[in-house]
């Protein structure tokens, strides 16, 4: 059985965060088969000092040359979401644990951390009225899925994507939109907002009960596995100190 890999999408401005992310993977993870870093092929190579932290597989991926006309932020934001859903291009694993560069594990995890006693992967949900600013994802999620999502499906990270469900999910999107790939869907609706986790999690909640189990509102500590700071603000002195304290603790 191929096992479970860790996937970390990144780009050059996030390399300052990738250091902490990868150090935490080395410190806190066990039982995962491989760590795969996928970075934009924009002429900025990941520094060797980062790659020396632990064994990793590195993939440089060309950015697409066109984007929806109404997109008003850097295309990499949408691009990294597509990369995550395209994870099977980079590995033959059964599933992947996805970590963004600005996410850092703070406790020990194994693949079993994310499973129930039946071996199903967990996916967390919360009521839309409790989602705060994440309510912004309800309309675009409904638009792309063509049904109303019952819950907000991105209350916390990290997330596990499983092979069969990922394949079925992408086939579902292509089928209902008459598309050949995800790009076709984005261009068809000139989409500028998309949440890969809300779309995937909502699909799982509606159509699957064998591969995933729903964790609704009561998160049982699963929401305390990482810390996250939005990468576009840079790494402050306080943020560095907080992360170093965690990483250097016995």
pLDDT value at residue 194: 83
pLDDT value at residue 191: 64
**CA-to-CA distance for 194 and 173, rounded, in angstroms?**
13
Closest CA to 56 of 13, 16, 9: 9
**Which residues are within 8 A (CB) of 169 and not within 5 positions of it... i.e. 6 or more apart?**
85, 199, 200, 203, 204
CATH class of this structure's domain 4-248:
alpha beta
Sequence ranges of the domains in the chain: 4-248
pLDDT tens-digit profile, the chain (250 residues): 589 999 999 988 899 999 999 999 999 999 999 999 999 888 889 999 999 999 999 999 887 776 655 555 555 677 788 889 999 999 999 999 999 999 999 999 999 999 999 999 999 999 999 999 999 999 989 989 999 999 999 999 999 999 999 999 999 999 998 888 877 777 666 666 789 999 999 999 999 989 999 999 988 778 899 998 865 667 888 999 999 999 999 7
pLDDT value at residue 67: 63
Closest CA to 130 of 219, 200, 208, 230: 219
**CA-to-CA distance for 7 and 20, rounded, in angstroms?**
15
pLDDT value at residue 168: 97
pLDDT value at residue 179: 85
In the chain, alpha helices (H): 15-28, 48-51, 76-85, 138-145, 163-177, 182-188, 196-207, 237-248
pLDDT value at residue 50: 97
Cis peptide bond N-terminal to 4, omega within 30: no
pLDDT value at residue 187: 66
């Amino acid at each position: 059985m191929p096992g479970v890999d860790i996937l970390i999408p990144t780009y050059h401005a996030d390399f300052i965060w990738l250091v902490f992310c990868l150090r935490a993977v080395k410190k806190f993870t066990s039982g995962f088969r491989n760590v795969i870093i996928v970075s934009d092929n924009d002429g900025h190579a990941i520094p060797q000092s980062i790659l020396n932290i632990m064994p990793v597989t590195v993939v440089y991926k060309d950015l697409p040359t066109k984007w929806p006309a109404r997109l008003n932020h850097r295309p990499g934001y949408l691009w990294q979401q597509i990369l995550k859903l395209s994870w099977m291009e980079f590995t033959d694993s059964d599933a992947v644990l996805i970590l963004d560069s600005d996410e850092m594990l703070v406790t020990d995890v194994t693949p079993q951390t994310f499973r129930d006693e039946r071996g199903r992967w967990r996916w967390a949900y919360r009521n839309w009225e409790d989602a705060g600013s994440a309510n912004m994802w309800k309309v675009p999620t409904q638009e792309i899925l063509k049904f109303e999502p019952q819950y907000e499906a991105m209350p916390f990270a990290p997330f596990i994507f499983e092979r069969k469900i990922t394949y079925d999910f992408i086939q579902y999107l292509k089928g209902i939109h008459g598309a050949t790939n995800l790009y076709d869907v984005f261009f068809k609706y000139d989409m500028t907002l998309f949440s890969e986790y809300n779309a995937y999690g909502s699909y799982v909640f509606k159509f699957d009960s064998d591969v995933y189990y729903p964790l609704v509102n009561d998160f049982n500590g699963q929401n305390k596995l990482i810390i996250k700071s939005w990468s576009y603000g840079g790494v402050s002195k306080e943020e560095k100190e907080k992360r170093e304290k965690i990483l250097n603790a016995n």
